[in-house]
Structure 1
Amino acid sequence: MLDESLTLKKLEVFLAFMKAGTLAEAAEKLNMSTVSVHRAIHSLEDGLKCPLFRQEGRLLVPLPSAQVLEERAEQVVLALDEAVKATRETAGIFSNQFKLGALYSLTLNTVPRLIAGLKLRKGDLNIELTLDSNELLFRKLRALELDAVLVSLEPGFRDDDCTVLPLFSDEVLLAVPADSDLDSGQAQDLADFRDQTFVTLTRGFATYRDSFVAFERAGFEPNVVMEVSDIFSLISMVSAGVGFALLPRRVEAVFENKIRLLPLKGIEDIRQNIAMVCLASRERDPRILNCIAECRAYAREHGADA
């Protein structure tokens, strides 16, 4: 067992003295007094129970034992530094690896622009993107598997463990095939579609949640013929005529050749509030601070109150 007097601080003082050669130069480098440096070296000798130096006038001359300790102590300090760095990187803290989570639909516009902005702010940032449902993204955030997530928040969302930065608000519309003869300029009553078939995302997605709030308000249980696990498959099913769906407006510009989005009466307040969320305990992480700054810029451009 190591003697309690053998500390990392004393080894660092010892190494500084060995490089400097004099107590005065070591003290200046360490911002300590010469007395403190001398005391640390003497205490180290007591802990090792062997001499490291011989006194020649006012000078301390290293013995072979000091030279051996210098070589091995440098290895210890280097190994400890690498251990600390590896530990932090494994925990995702203060590394160049940034793990961002997002909803599938946000990859159409929001995610590429945010990633491009982040790369301009910090070119050496290695961004790993995870696409998943609202529910699973939150779960991975709390498990420290993700650094920040781009999700849809329910009205009145509040969690003291999280820092939230609103990005924009998106309305929910009825998705029909591009060749549908329904009038795009006229608001539809969802109740009129009670006899139609629908396709939805699986449980846990924000669009699944919003769809069933709208169905409940319209007073009917939809005939869901298929559930899919990503919004791109959902759009393909609507385009092929498998069924109608409720989708956020942000998908319209990209898929206007496959589907049309029609406004619905009485659900104008059902909106997807898109926000960046990170754990409050980690918001001072430099990588997350860069993400917050980029999200603020994006929110200002899109009119959200950041």
Structure 2
Amino acid sequence: MLDDAITLKKLEVFLTFMQTGTLAEAASALGMSTVSIHRAIHSLEEGLKCPLFRQEGRLLTPLPSARVLEEQGRQVLAALEEAVKATRETAGIHSNQFKLGALYSLTLATVPKLIAGLKLRKGDLNIELTLDSNQVLFRKLRSLELDAILVSLDRDFSEPDCLALPLFSDDIFLAAPLGSPYADSQEVGLPELKDATFVTLTQGFATYTDSFRAFERAGFTPNVVMQVSDIFSLISMVSAGMGYALLPGRVEAVFENKIQLIPLKDPCRMQQHIAMVCLASRERDPRILHCIAECRAYARQYLQEKQGV
């Protein structure tokens, strides 16, 4: 248990003195008298029950113990500042920093539109984007490393600590290299490819999970020749003829000159349901409220465009 004589104010006085080097300069920096600076340092020594300085005339020369306290004390104050920041953010007192997480594939259209809309709503918002898998994004959201995430959810998703706002649904297709045997097919039955080679994302990505659900429906275990950690590498592997893949339709507009997306026959037809997710406890965060409003606007526009309105 800390001695009552050891306080954050005295630690601040000590660190200021260590930085400035003289009682007068420390007093000027803190708006205190030199007597108060000296008294605070002496009281801190009493609380620590060890000397920090050697008196040389009117000068205080730091001992090794003072150097140790200086280094550790700065770490303590830095950690405290982070704790205060996190506490204020949780309580609803926020900065202009907004940490958004998203799936790689959403950077093709969804993320740029949402960020542009957010900047129009709140021009001073400093948006930091993190791209990763569904699994990692959820972990970072719950550890407060991210404010909101754009992910794929099961249709029956229900977590009491999370608020989910649907954006759109996306069909899953067979991704084939241009000129493949299925190039002229209107749709393809996945069981027809039980002897083919496949490329997939690594475990934890939504498209990995959806792919293996489809393979399960098709009744076979795929021959996976390579796993990659982002959807752009996956598309490159398919384009190069390494194997087929199952991909969401949102990638077609950008990569139609590299791969072909072919609809799947029942019972292997599947959809990804894309949503914005935030912690329910932080729903009233003004930055998250701006994000929710922009996501609602995006969802309306997406539906209107799909319906041709």
TM-score (norm 2): 0.69
* Structure-2 residue corresponding to 1:294: 294
Work out the CA distance in 2 between the residues paired with 1:87 and 1:253: 44
Q: Secondary structure at the match of 1:302?
A: helix
Aligned partners of 2:82 and 2:213: how far apart in 1? Answer: 46
Q: Of the two, which has the highest radius of gyration?
A: 1
Note the 1:123-142 alignment, pairs <5 A: 123-142=123-142
* CA–CA distance in structure 2, aligned partners of residues 127 and 214 of structure 1: 36
The CA deviation at 1:144 is 0.5
1:110-147: CA deviations, max 9, x gaps?
A: 00000000011111111110000001100110011100
Match of 2:271? 271
Whether the 8 Å CA contact 2:182–2:188 is kept in 1: the answer is no
Task: Quote how far apart the aligned CAs of 1:268 are.
Answer: 6.1
Q: Tell me, yes or no, if the aligned pair for 1:171 and 1:268 is still in contact at 8 Å.
A: no
**What is the DSSP-based 3-state SS (H/G/I as helix, E as strand, rest coil) of the residue aligned with 2:261?**
strand
Q: Answer yes or no: is the 8 Å Cα contact 2:183–2:260 preserved in 1.
A: no
Counterpart in 1 of 2:98? 98
**Is residue 100–residue 146 contact of structure 1 (8 Å, CA) maintained in 2?**
yes
Number of aligned positions between the proteins: 229
State the secondary structure of the residue aligned to 2:303: coil
Mapped contact 1:99–1:146 kept (Cα < 8 A):
yes
Q: In structure 2, what is the Cα distance between the partners aligned to 1:127 and 1:141? A: 15
In structure 2, how many angstroms separate the alpha carbons of the residues matched to 1:260 and 1:125? Answer: 38
Q: Deviations over 1:32-84 (max 9, x none)?
A: xxxxxxxxxxxxxxxxxxxxxxxxxxxxxxxxxxxx89xx9xxxxxxxxxx99
Note if contact 2:101-2:132 (Cα within 8 Å) is conserved in structure 1. Answer: yes
Q: Deviations over 1:141-195 (max 9, x none)?
A: 0011100000000120101111110000000000001232424451101000011
The answer (yes or no) to whether the contact 1:184–1:260 under 8 Å persists in 2 is no
Q: Distance in 2 between matches of 1:147 and 1:167?
A: 17
Q: Map of 1:170-185 to 2, 5 A cutoff?
A: 170-185=170-185
Could you list the runs of 5+ residues in structure 1 that have no partner in the other structure?
A: 3-67, 73-82
Q: Provide the identity percentage.
A: 69
Residues 1-306 of structure 1 mapped to structure 2, 5 A cutoff: 87=83, 89-90=85-86, 93=89, 94-267=94-267, 270-303=270-303
Measure, in 2, the Cα distance between the counterparts of 1:193 and 1:269: 15
Distance in 2 between residues matched to 1:126 and 1:91, nearest whole Å: 20
* Post-superposition CA distance 1:181-230 (Å, at most 9, x none): 42445110100001100000000000000000000100110000000000
Give 1:189's aligned amino acid.
G
Does the 8 Å CA contact 1:184/1:261 hold for their aligned counterparts? no
Aligned to 2:124, the other structure's residue is in SS state coil
CA deviation vs aligned residue, 1:206-265 (integer Å, no higher than 9, x gap): 000000000010011000000000000000000000000000000000000100000010
Distance 1:184 1:301 in 2: 32
Tell me the SS of whatever aligns to 1:220: coil
- Contact between 2:169 and 2:273, CA under 8 Å: does it hold in 1? yes
